[in-house]
Chains A and B, each alone.
Chain A
Amino acid sequence: MPDRRPPSAVPSARPGGGAVPAPEGEALLEVRDLGVEFVRRGAEPVRAVDGVSLSVRPGEVRGLVGESGSGKSVTSLAVMGLLPRRSSRVTGSVRLAGTELLGMAPKRLAALRGDQMAMVFQDPMSSLNPVVPIGTQVTEVLRTHTDVDRAAARDEAEDLLRRVGIPDPRRRLRDYPHQLSGGMRQRALIAIALACKPRLLIADEPTTALDVTIQAQVLELLRQLVGETGTAMLLITHDLGVVAGLCDDVTVMYSGRVVEEASRRELFGRPAHRYTEGLLASVPRMDAPRGEPLRPIPGTPRDLLPWSRACAFAPRCAHADRACADPDLALRELQGLPAGHLARCAHPALPESAAPVTAGVGA
């Protein structure tokens, strides 16, 4: 069982050696300078994602962390090509195993979706079709991408449901979503996503809608399945506990841009961006003294500046000053931090100044 809390305690090394940066290799998913703008007639376009780059290697789990509205879900939908064509403009590059996905013909992209890349959505209540039996919702993806007949698809669906831990799968195939509990529905969604053994699995807050005991089960299931098959996984979450339990590397987003990128151990041990620092500090700690007040980040994600003028986090940041009003604030490597740990911050929490924040953490 993954120990989910307290998340700021660096978890012990995972099976598979996730604690050290994953072995260098060709990235399966390579997102470069991704931009998403939502356009509406008669209104200024809204930039939801701006210059996001990230990569995921086979067998690696990358966490994509941020508050609601930070652009993490939009990023994942852009990767899958699921953004509405007419109201959104996607720029940059998304490569899956070297193949550019942006601008690909819809039919070719559909052939990849569900087969090479699949997605687990966050709300299992609304993400399954209420009027179609579970079995059909699993078999339709098999029948679309593989050459199986009806009976074989049914057997395989049964097998899939069993593998994700749904009891009595034969009977469940005939059931409708409303006859399943939330946890079972999320398992069914995972079974659908895994049906064609995708090389890339995107999980968008797969546990948010579930209660805590079920959350742990679903996370453990995802970890097992990814570990067994060498699937690359992009895990979108706002829950640092999930990150601690599952991710190898972490990308932190704020207001549409990446503000920090690091391995999990680095991020929890030495958060450099003040936003990440605040996120970690705001998590309640079981080992904190009784009566210790919580330390939330002040303000809301809506108190932001456009990145074109300054650091978007500056209005909420205790360390903000004139240097933060730099429109060209770059995501860069910082002195004193290992290579691969990047942050977009004028006043990063560097090791010496970060010491009080991480005091008590066995980093």
Chain B
Amino acid sequence: MLRFLVRRLALLVPVLLGLSVLLFAWLRALPGDPARTLLGERATPAAVERITAAYGFDQPLPVQYVTYLGRLLQGDLGTSSRTGEPVLESFLLRFPATIELAVAALLIAVLLGIPLGYAAARRHGGPLDSLLVGGSLLGTVIPVFFLAYLLKLVFAVQLGWLPTAGRQDPRIDATHVTNFYVLDGLLTREWDASWDAVVHLVLPALALGTIPLAIIVRITRASVLEVTGQDYVRTAEAKGLARSLVRRRHVLRNAMLPVLTTVGLQTGLLLSGAVLTETVFAINGIGGYLFDSISTLDYPVLQGFILFIALVYALVNLLVDVSYGLVDPRVRVS
């Protein structure tokens, strides 16, 4: 097991290295000049030249790459050409909000999706099943920003049950250690701050979690239906086992395998897909920052962001593979 983990982690190095080369070349192949974009149309040639030189854009690409890589290995993601701030600092400030949102969305998707998918399969062909299948279809096609506005309008504006925007009520003078607000509240024992952050997360997480929720409902339903028809489930029934035991040990355990894979695949999408939700709920996450960086061709920010997402994605899927092995002995690593 340990050897498997080490091998998989070691494999990450060439993958990320390759990705960084691709990214580097790719981003610079995009039309536009970062210095010109930054300074606007009426910038003097001298100013453009000064910025270009300041960020090293005038050097040959391979030299730029090696410089970038050297800094990267020391944990320096470079300086944003748009804000002039160190990229890492901005990330540490903004990523926690996005990660918190993505995790909450994933929790909603998993904790609701698996039981709902299971219930649909148990009542295969019944009204609840049809409702859930139809609902999950709707859930995958509804635009996230539309749903986000709708939720906000109904539950925050009209009913006033939940806050309309932000991550925390500013009147709560919370201490922020990690910038994960929920976690911060727990660490500093400011329970009300933590709870307020949770309350603020509900609507955005619902909006962001709808697509993965719908997908998990469908995968769970299909998977449970398939497993229920398997011979070993009939064997379990022929043993006269209690229904709950048949479900838990023989149906669910096997049905969870495809669901695990799906959850892993959704994680990357959640992180990169949070932009719209963050915008609607005025959450100061990575989304808006990234949007501005794209429009100004802020190379260091874009590179850092994509590399980070790739790293998270790879780690989550490694975790999925490990837990897959825990559930299914046939793929267990020796």
Contact = CB atoms under 8 A, between A and B. Distances in A.
Contacts of A140: 239, 241, 245, 249
Interface string A183-208: 00000010010000000000000000
Contacts of A109: 240
B228 to A, nearest CB: 10
Contacts of B241: 110, 114, 140-141, 144
Interface string B251-285: 00110000000000000000000000000000000
Contacts of A145: 240
A117 to B, nearest CB: 9
A128 B234 CA distance: 10
Interface in A147-186: 176, 178
A127 B236 CA distance: 9
B242 A110 contact: yes
Nearest to A144: B241
Interface stretch (A64-72, A118-126, A274-282): A118-126
Contacts of A136: 249
A191 B232 CA distance: 15
Interface size class on chain A is 20 to 34
A132 B250 contact: yes
**Does more than half of chain B's interface fall in helix, strand or loop, or is it mixed?**
helix
A141 B240 contact: yes
A133 B332 CA distance: 13
B85 interface: no
A115 interface: yes
A346 B37 CA distance: 96
B235 interface: yes
Contact of A111 (B234, B240, B243, B249): B240
Contacts of A299: none
Contact of B242 (A82, A121, A129, A144): A144
Contacts of B328: 130-131
Given A129-B249, A141-B240, 10 more contacts: A109-B240, A115-B240, A121-B238, A128-B235, A132-B253, A140-B249, A144-B240, A144-B245, A178-B329, A192-B239
Interface of A: 80, 82, 109-115, 118-119, 121, 123, 126-133, 136, 140-141, 144-145, 176, 178, 189, 192
